[in-house]
């Protein structure tokens, strides 16, 4: 990244946010505290009109007023053109098609930051790999960490990780997102940061299932800890560094999503454990829990790398093969074990 581009990013006081779900809206509110102008692209034309009229995202983040410097629009061209900073916050499974739509309007030297969490089902690409595949650009970064949208919008003290292959890029993103209530750390382990942010949603569903079955804190602690090992096994096979999974985007995000009542993935798991079917749970949800689709990618990665990840396998079978949660738990308890960190490259 050249010196001219770096100056553009450091001096920019505006950004375009693509995606107005709960997380995109919360990040818009967060960034509005320090930037002059924020374009917020809203996929749903009806919602865009509601936000413009009420200054509130009543569908996805009710109760939080949008500052005047946030400008919702239903036009991708209007949101993108002339912007040097782009923040992508759409579901992972639609990133590819969204990028194809915005590609004609992107400025040549723009910096694209992704805040989505997931793994593409068809390719098993993480988010930055999808972006590189579609746009063939190097100016990109990922922002991730243990953060609920509602709390970020409220200004609760929180922490994130800004990750990029280039340290200067990571520092630009760090500076952009840092406020008095937000600490931002940097990382060069893009794959590790993205794998941790994606797979924790699968373990959160599993933890929710056990809570729904009425099991105890012992079970929850065991699932979180062993789930972290499974995430680390898959991640290190994909080239991530083991230590990344014991930081904010691994352990931190995992604990938050597995224990917090605001977690959609945990809440979905609780209802599964209580006997509801996936169809019953999701048919009335405006925002489907990310782990429902991510577990498909997790299952494929387990097969691809031949790693032991029994929690994720059983979660997949409950979600997509109709296996009874109680039977899945019983089968999980019969899995052969060895040393605690077996299969984690760099630790085993």
- Work out the mean pLDDT of the chain and round it to a whole number: 95
Question: Quick one: fold of 192-332?
Answer: 1.10.1040
Q: In the annotation, is 200 catalytic?
A: yes
Domain regions of the chain by residue span: 3-154, 192-332
> Which pLDDT belongs to residue 5?
60
173-199 pLDDT tens trace: 999 999 999 999 999 999 999 999 999
**Alpha helices per DSSP H over 1-75:** 3-11, 22-31, 45-54
Tell me how far apart the alpha carbons of residues 1 and 167 are, in angstroms, rounded to a whole number. 10
Tell me how far apart the alpha carbons of residues 275 and 240 are, in angstroms, rounded to a whole number. 37
Tell me: pLDDT of 9 over 80. Answer: no
* Annotated catalytic residue within 200, 296, 304, 323: 200
Q: How far is CA 313 from CA 210, 211, 217, 306, 332, in A?
A: 15, 18, 22, 12, 9
pLDDT band at 4 (very low <50, low <70, confident <90, very high): very low
Q: Which residues, at least 6 apart from 191, have a Cβ–Cβ distance to it below 8 Å?
A: 126, 128, 235, 238, 239, 240
Provide φ and ψ at 235, rounded to 5°.
Answer: -60, -45
- How do strand 56-57 and strand 14-18 relate by DSSP bridges? unpaired
pLDDT band at 104 (very low <50, low <70, confident <90, very high): very high
Unique residue bearing structure tokens 């995606």: 19
**Cβ neighbour number for residue 101 with a 10 Å cutoff:** 13
Tell me: pLDDT of 200 over 70. Answer: yes
Tell me how far apart the alpha carbons of residues 9 and 215 are, in angstroms, rounded to a whole number. 50
pLDDT band at 2 (very low <50, low <70, confident <90, very high): low
Tell me how far apart the alpha carbons of residues 166 and 187 are, in angstroms, rounded to a whole number. 9
- Write down the pTM of the prediction: 0.95
258-302 pLDDT tens trace: 999 999 999 999 999 999 999 999 987 777 789 999 999 999 999
CB-based contact 8:84 (threshold 8 Å): yes
- What CATH number belongs to 3-154? 3.40.50.720
Q: Which residues, at least 6 apart from 248, have a Cβ–Cβ distance to it below 8 Å?
A: 144, 145, 146, 159, 160, 161, 185
Report the SS3 class of residue 183: strand
245-257 pLDDT tens trace: 999 999 999 999 9
| Token code pair at residue 321 | 């093969």
């Amino acid at each position: 990244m050249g010196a001219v581009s770096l100056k553009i990013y450091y001096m920019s006081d505006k950004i375009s946010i693509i995606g107005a779900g709960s997380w995109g809206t919360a990040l818009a509110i967060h960034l509005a505290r320090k930037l002059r102008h924020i374009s917020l692209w809203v996929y749903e034309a009806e919602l865009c009109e509601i936000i413009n009229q009420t200054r509130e995202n009543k569908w996805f983040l009710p109760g939080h007023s949008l500052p005047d410097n946030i400008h919702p629009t239903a036009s991708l061209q209007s949101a993108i053109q002339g912007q040097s900073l782009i923040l992508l916050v759409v579901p992972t499974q639609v990133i590819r098609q969204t990028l194809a739509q915005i590609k004609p309007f992107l400025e040549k030297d723009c910096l694209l930051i992704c805040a989505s969490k997931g793994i593409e089902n068809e390719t098993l690409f993480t988010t930055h790999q999808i972006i590189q595949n579609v746009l063939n650009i190097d100016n990109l970064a990922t922002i991730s960490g243990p953060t609920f949208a509602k709390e970020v919008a409220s200004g609760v003290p929180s922490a994130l990780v800004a990750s990029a292959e280039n340290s200067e890029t990571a520092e630009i993103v760090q500076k952009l997102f840092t406020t008095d209530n937000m600490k931002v750390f940097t990382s060069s382990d893009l794959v590790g940061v993205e794998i941790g942010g994606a797979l924790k949603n699968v373990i959160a569903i599993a933890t929710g299932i056990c809570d729904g079955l009425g099991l105890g804190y012992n079970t929850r602690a065991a699932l979180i800890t062993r789930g972290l090992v499974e995430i680390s096994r898959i991640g290190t096979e994909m080239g991530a560094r083991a230590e990344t999974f014991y930081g904010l985007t691994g352990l931190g995000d995992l604990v938050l999503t597995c224990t917090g009542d605001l977690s959609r993935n945990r809440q979905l798991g609780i209802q599964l454990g209580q006997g509801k079917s996936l169809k019953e749970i999701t048919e009335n949800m405006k925002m489907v829990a990310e782990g429902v689709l991510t577990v498909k990618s997790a299952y494929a990665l387990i097969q691809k790398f031949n790693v032991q990840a029994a929690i994720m396998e059983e979660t997949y079978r409950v979600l997509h093969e109709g296996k009874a949660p109680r039977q899945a738990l019983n089968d999980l308890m019969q899995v052969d074990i060895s040393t605690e960190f077996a299969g984690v490259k760099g630790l085993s």
